């Protein structure tokens, strides 16, 4: 995920070095799914990664599908599946969403999908937490109203 402009000042001055160290720790592959930075391919319904293959050759050069294009993947001989081509761009994420917390244990080198899955789970947990608090407040008032 790109750094939001309103959060830019919250990153330490050595963030480029910190981020590079985390990418190096990860071997420049996603720490969630293992896909390499810069890889070109698509994901099936289960999230499995399929590396793109050249569409053909022109002027003695391989012709690769472009990100955003749809591509028929034969899934190792199974029924062909239409996948949307993406280019993997690894980013370094803060597990606690706090840019100031650059403890390596708080940082993960992730692809777009793994980062989004984590953020969605965090958002769901936040919603559930707020709903639990609201329900607890409701119980409190319901209990008090009867007296």
Would you tell me which residues interact with Zn ion (CB under 5 A)? 30, 32-33, 111, 114
Tell me the two tokens of residue 9.
Answer: 């000042």
Shortest Cβ 23–Zn ion spacing (Å): 13
Q: In this structure, how many other beta carbons lie within 10 angstroms of the beta carbon of residue 71?
A: 20
Cα 47 from Cα 103, distance rounded (Å): 29
Q: In this structure, how many other beta carbons lie within 10 angstroms of the beta carbon of residue 67?
A: 15
12 or 38: CB nearest Zn ion: 38
**Which residue, chain included where needed, has tokens 């599908």?**
65
71 or 110: CB nearest Zn ion: 110
Whether 99 and 10 have beta carbons less than 8 Å apart is answered as yes
Tell me the two tokens of residue 126.
Answer: 């936040």
Shortest Cβ 57–Zn ion spacing (Å): 30
8 or 51: CB nearest Zn ion: 51
Residue ranges of alpha helices (H) inside the chain are 15-25, 112-145
Shortest Cβ 8–Zn ion spacing (Å): 25
Shortest Cβ 37–Zn ion spacing (Å): 10
49 or 71: CB nearest Zn ion: 49
């Amino acid at each position: 995920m790109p750094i939001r402009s309103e959060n830019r000042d919250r990153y330490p001055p050595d963030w480029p070095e910190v981020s590079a160290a985390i990418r190096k720790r990860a071997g420049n592959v996603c720490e969630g799914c293992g896909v390499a930075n810069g890889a070109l391919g698509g994901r099936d319904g289960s999230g499995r990664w399929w590396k793109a293959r050249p569409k053909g050759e022109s002027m003695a050069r391989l012709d690769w599908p472009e990100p955003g294009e749809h591509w028929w993947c034969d899934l190792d001989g199974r029924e062909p599946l239409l996948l949307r081509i993406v280019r993997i761009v690894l980013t370094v994420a803060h597990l606690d969403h706090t840019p100031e917390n650059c403890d390596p244990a708080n940082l993960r080198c992730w692809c777009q999908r793994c980062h989004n899955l984590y953020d969605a789970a965090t958002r769901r947990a936040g919603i559930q937490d707020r709903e639990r608090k609201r329900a607890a407040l409701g119980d409190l008032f319901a209990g008090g109203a009867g007296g």
